[in-house]
Amino acid sequence: MADTLRDSLVTLIGLGGPVVAVLLAFSVLALAVTLVKLHQYWRESVGVHKPARAALHHWHHGRFVDALRVAENDRSAVGAVLTAAMRMSRAQAGRHAVEEEIGRIGLLRIHGLQRGLKALDAIAQIAPLLGLFGTVLGMIEAFRQLQGAGNAVDPSLLAGGIWVALLTTAVGLAVAMPVSLILTWFESRVENERVAIEGVAAEFLGSWTMTQTRDAPNRSEADAAVVLEPGHAR
């Protein structure tokens, strides 16, 4: 099986020339990047948001320790953002500081998820152009042979040169189409993760604001009681 595949690749490169060799190298690179990104997305639990939702549920019901424990065990970018927000909230940090930390962590995690996608985008765009370039070179060579033959034109020679030239375009499209689909899938996963981060952060900050607003009258009454105690200035 391996020998057959090797022989087929050698034949393909022999027919298409260096352009096909470059396109095959692009396909290997695209496969390597795809496998690396799939492993990364699995490792970072991209698209898995149930733990973050569970942590928020604990937080809303006042189970802060359980909420922080669940968030810390979440490997996703959403979990990382929520963990930082909960820790800073427990440390009595200001809202502005929490928002900045959420933005910083979210930006770094999204950037990490996007790393390598530019390479897939470049391959998807260059592969068909490179295939077309190979076809143009092949057609030039075919018509050059046709001109050199003079009156002794062999139609089979011309037809053979044309189909070999078109082979590079076919290989270029065969590389570009699946890479383009894979890139679109990766980008949709990253966009979904970005939206999830923004949604969870907004929900957490909104509940925090409501809690502070609800507790504000109690704090005001406590402050007034302290002021009105004997020995305090009225």
In this predicted model, what pLDDT tens digit does every residue of 61-102 receive, in sequence order? 888 899 999 999 999 999 999 999 999 888 888 888 888 999
Rounded distance between C-alpha atoms, residue 80 and residue 95, angstroms = 18
- Cα–Cα distances (Å) from 46 to 55, 77, 108, 110, in that order, read 17, 7, 14, 10
Q: Which domain holds residue 118?
A: 22-217
Looking at the domain assignment, is residue 126 inside a domain? yes
> Which of 76-80, 120-124, 140-144, 230-234 has the weakest average pLDDT?
230-234
Rounded distance between C-alpha atoms, residue 105 and residue 111, angstroms = 10
Please give the tally of structural domains in the chain: 1
Residue reference for tokens 């009105």: 228
Given a contact cutoff of 8 angstroms between Cβ atoms, the answer to whether 64 and 88 are in contact is: no
Looking at the domain assignment, is residue 89 inside a domain? yes
Looking at the domain assignment, is residue 12 inside a domain? no
Contact partners, residue 196, CB within 8 Å, separation at least 6 = 49, 52, 77, 78
Given a contact cutoff of 8 angstroms between Cβ atoms, the answer to whether 175 and 26 are in contact is: yes
Looking at the domain assignment, is residue 225 inside a domain? no
Q: Does 216 have pLDDT greater than 70? A: no
Given a contact cutoff of 8 angstroms between Cβ atoms, the answer to whether 136 and 161 are in contact is: no
Nearest CA to 164 among 13, 6, 10?
13
Q: Is the dihedral of CA 160, 166, 168, 174 positive or negative?
A: negative
Looking at the domain assignment, is residue 10 inside a domain? no
Looking at the domain assignment, is residue 17 inside a domain? no
Q: Does 6 have pLDDT greater than 70? A: no
Q: Is 229 helix (H, G, I), strand (E, B) or coil?
A: coil
Nearest CA to 64 among 174, 192, 208?
208
Q: Does 104 have pLDDT greater than 60? A: yes
Looking at the domain assignment, is residue 29 inside a domain? yes
Looking at the domain assignment, is residue 178 inside a domain? yes
Model pLDDT, residue 219:
42
Q: How crowded is residue 84: how many other Cβ atoms within 10 Å of its Cβ?
A: 19
Model pLDDT, residue 60:
86
pLDDT band for position 30 (50/70/90)?
A: very high
Higher pLDDT, 233 or 144: 144
- Cα–Cα distances (Å) from 135 to 139, 171, 172, 189, 190, in that order, read 6, 10, 10, 36, 36
Rounded distance between C-alpha atoms, residue 94 and residue 200, angstroms = 18
Model pLDDT, residue 208:
66
Q: Does 214 have pLDDT greater than 60? A: no
Higher pLDDT, 225 or 109: 109
Task: Write out pLDDT tens, residues 144-196.
Answer: 777 666 666 666 666 666 777 788 888 999 999 999 999 999 999 999 999 99
> Which of 30-44, 150-164, 183-197, 200-214 has the weakest average pLDDT?
150-164
Model pLDDT, residue 229:
44
- How many CA atoms lie less than 13 Å away from 51 in the CB half-sphere? 22
Given a contact cutoff of 8 angstroms between Cβ atoms, the answer to whether 71 and 79 are in contact is: yes
Rounded distance between C-alpha atoms, residue 162 and residue 157, angstroms = 9
